Structure 1
Amino acid sequence: MEKMISTTWKQLGVAEPLLDKLEENGIAEPTPIQAQALPILLSGRSLMAQSQTGTGKTLAYLLPVLQRIDASSNAVQAVVLSPTQELAMQIVRVAEAYGEPLGVRSLGLIGGASLKRQVERLKKHPQLVVGTPGRIHELLNMRKLKLGQTATVIVDEADQVFQLGSVKEVETILWATRKDRQLAFFSATRPPQMAGVESRWMKDAATVQVAPENVVSETIDHYYLISERRDKTDIVRRLVRLLNPRSALLFVNDTNNIANWEAKLSYEGFAVETLYGDADKQRRAATLARFRDGRCQLLLATDVAARGIDIESLPLVINIDPPVDADHYVHRAGRTGRMGKPGTVVSIVTTQERFIMDKFRKALHIELPEKAMYRGKLIDPAAAREGSRARFGTGRSGAVAGEARDGSGQAGAKLRNAGAKSGKTGGPAYGGTNAMETGSHAKSGSAGSQAIRVDGTKPEAASRQARTRSGASAAGEHAAGGSRSGRVPSAKAKAAREKNKKDKGAPKWLKAKRENAEKH
């Protein structure tokens, strides 16, 4: 790992015109990646640089590249390769701004734009070409682009460039440049397969790794929510309403699902735009312009489509589908929290996908807790469950209270039994009056019956309704053989009960036969 050798632009060897431009843009001090990469690239040495997203990698390679270009020559002296159209055009804008005081002409060559127009612009002899591997390779095969005097090749987001199947195209471009060219790979991650590419194309290359233990900005808060797959639309809706961000970038893994998500979120009342990797330049530019100026709140994209997007002060990233690996998580999270600004990343996963969050936590050394939405806040799931129990009367304590209120369950059964055994004691809790009255009447009005036997008269205080209920209950007790009152059933009652058992379910002709036999 290279050590930082200076802390000021001038000490790093930046030319005076570029110093004025940096001061004009309010960039007073270099970032760690800039301070370490600049001297190496200015010396002409090849470089493999790794630094987290949003740390200023673009200026780290553009400043030395622009400074080493001979503005008096009409040859293409430097090429910058980018995995996406949007990232390429962002680099072009920076190159134009900082190349102007040096007299360096820059040109963007990307797929989706007019090929004929790009051929015409090549006639103006740009010294720096920035583009996607596919379009540069196409122009190279058409012999419209000549790289014989190209001394520097920068591959930005190198891991993604080689992962997207552009290896042959990149190799063709490299073979077309000078043999003693300078080659530099810049990326936020460095997958193992990149080692083979580096060893093949780089000789005596320096390596710069800035804070590899914190590949994700420390100003970003990371959370995840558990959801059933069918409920993700509702979870996203509630989450956006809860956090209410000025803008949010939403990631899905499958391009085929973007239109479906756009329809669902539009139906919920959100202003939504989509970003496809194969969309043409004009559509992508228009979509990002509407997103940047706030005309749409939500932007749906895939990993490829969103690679290199630079949205100033983007507050929120939502992973509708979890990233396929830790490197993709880094690139998604890097859309927010750029240059030390705060940001939030929320992933929505199913129970079966929870292990993915554990892998990211360990691999990236970040805090990635589970959260739940409850009463307008993102809180710990256990606290949300406790709050839900207390609010809706669920759980053990709530169940007991509910059982007592409606007279069901063990607590309610005790109240009913107490009322049934003795109609004398009274006020049960939570509507136990009915249980007491029912017990009293089912007992054939035990207290009332005893009063009749003692003085030989009916109590005048008893209402007609009470007498009717008591009589009905007594009749029921008698029909049942007095089992509820605890008296020994008579022989007649037993016979009636046996008859009822035999007749239950018997055909009509058999019942009629039994009745005739009893009569005779």
Structure 2
Amino acid sequence: MSFLEKMDDVFKNKWKFESETPIQAQMIPEMLNGKDIVAESPTGTGKTLAYVLPILQQVDGKKKQTQALIVAPSQELSMQIVNVIREWVEGTDITVTQLIGGANMQRQLEKLKKKPTIVVGTPGRLIELVKSKKLKMHEIRYIILDEGDQLLAREHRVIVKNLIEVSHEERQVAVVSATITEEIELVAEKLMNDPVRLQVSLEDMPSSGEIVHSFVKTEARDKTNLLRGLAHLPSIHALAFMNNVDQLRMKEMKLQYNEAPVAVLYSSMTKFERQDTLEKFRKGDIRILIATDLAARGLDIQGLTHVIHVDVPQTIEQYLHRSGRTGRAGKDGEVLTLLSYPEERTYKKLSKQFKPVQKVWYKGKLTEGNSKTVGEKPETKKNPKKK
């Protein structure tokens, strides 16, 4: 019997869940069978529902007990997960509460006293609540690490390990991410019980939109002006990436001075600043949102026309993770790199499989340029010999 046949009518009828994505088809049965899981699937392929739906099938909303914990590395991702769960549990006894840093602690404690069925939170706030004995981990049987590659990296590894070790002895643990490195897989296995390894690639996804990979050659000092110009194109709704948060802040000051429809997102912003920025971006008041990989982790923004690499990514995993945010749900998209000469060698290695198209920014328009190979120096004319 498939998961769809098993699924409670209250979920199936309300949301007309009629088909599974590849990662859902693989992950849901394994979770329902109680297996620990390490799952890798590209951004935007349905990973959230792949673990949310089986959790909803297994928890009991009538019990006044917290039974499932979903850990996320950022406030934005945890908020998105909570919103997904709230949509699916409406009309049921299952409840969910968000526990994130930067939010009012007393308000969160009041919600915890009501014993929500599921809690979603960030590592720092969760461990704080565990140490103060407000969050009863020994009752939690289901633990999900969303964006697990980041949660199991050195910054959060000890906290996550502590959370898992003090949970129910018969717990089920699942790690999901768009990229799982060999190191992260080894760390995950030490915290899990004979985990099943699941993997989905972009080639496995049906009806993906066409994604064009392109680049514009520019001097590094001219990237700010180019971003400003791109932000005034009505066809642009882009998430742009930079490698360094200090450079990001400098871009912010220059762009704000010229009142461009561009905003930035970084991890030290307050919860309300981040929410306000994201709301304006989703509404279209902001055309380009610039962020680091950390700040943009897990953001699910519908209708992105472009991903812009302001800085060339440092690894192919980084390039793929960023680029996968456009061209979703069958829609077309473009991955545009602002390419300075010192970055050309790195970009050539990262993008060779995509056969990128060169474009030119000219008189406020982005048009296709010549087809010179990336990294090729411009031709120089030799002085004619004097007769």
Is 1:283 the counterpart of 2:273? The answer is yes
Q: 2:151 aligns with which of 144, 148, 161?
A: 161
Letter aligned with residue 49 of structure 1 = A
Question: Does the CA contact (< 8 Å) of 2:231 and 2:260 recur in 1?
Answer: no
Letter aligned with residue 142 of structure 1 = S
Structure 2, gaps ≥5 residues long: 373-378
Partner of 1:231: 222
Partner of 1:39: 29
- The structure whose RCO (Cα within 8 Å, separation 6+) is larger is 2
Is 1:294 the counterpart of 2:284? The answer is yes
Structure 1, gaps ≥5 residues long: 384-393, 401-408, 414-520
* Secondary structure of 1:166 counterpart: helix
**Aligned equivalents of 1:152 and 1:278: distance in 2?**
30
| Cα distance, 1:43–1:88 mapped onto 2, change above 3 Å | same
Distance apart, 1:233 and its partner CA = 2.0
Distance apart, 1:47 and its partner CA = 1.0
Is 1:18 the counterpart of 2:11? The answer is yes
Over the aligned positions, Cα root-mean-square deviation in angstroms equals 2.7
Is 1:54 the counterpart of 2:44? The answer is yes
Distance apart, 1:374 and its partner CA = 4.7
How big is each residue's C-alpha offset from its partner over 1:429-464, in whole Å with a ceiling of 9 and x where there is no partner? xxxxxxxxxxxxxxxxxxxxxxxxxxxxxxxxxxxx
Letter aligned with residue 367 of structure 1 = K
| Cα distance, 1:290–1:374 mapped onto 2, change above 3 Å | closer
Query: TM-score, normalised to structure 1's length?
Result: 0.68
Aligned length: 380
Alignment of 1:208-247 (within 5 A): 208-211=198-201, 219-241=210-232, 243-247=233-237
Q: 1:261 aligns with which of 233, 251, 266?
A: 251
Letter aligned with residue 199 of structure 1 = E
Alignment of 1:89-488 (within 5 A): 89-163=79-153, 165-211=155-201, 219-241=210-232, 243-361=233-351, 365-374=353-362, 376-382=365-371
Letter aligned with residue 146 of structure 2 = D
Structure with a larger share of its residues in strand: 2
- Whichever of the two has the greater Rg, that structure is 1
Question: Does the CA contact (< 8 Å) of 2:40 and 2:199 recur in 1?
Answer: yes
Distance apart, 1:338 and its partner CA = 2.3
**Aligned equivalents of 1:135 and 1:77: distance in 2?**
18
How big is each residue's C-alpha offset from its partner over 1:145-174, in whole Å with a ceiling of 9 and x where there is no partner? 101121111111101122260011101100
Is 1:81 the counterpart of 2:71? The answer is yes
Letter aligned with residue 303 of structure 2 = S
**Aligned equivalents of 1:351 and 1:218: distance in 2?**
30
Distance apart, 1:271 and its partner CA = 1.8
Letter aligned with residue 224 of structure 1 = F
Structure with a larger share of its residues in helix: 1
Distance apart, 1:269 and its partner CA = 4.2
**Aligned equivalents of 2:189 and 2:158: distance in 1?**
16
| Cα distance, 1:102–1:41 mapped onto 2, change above 3 Å | farther
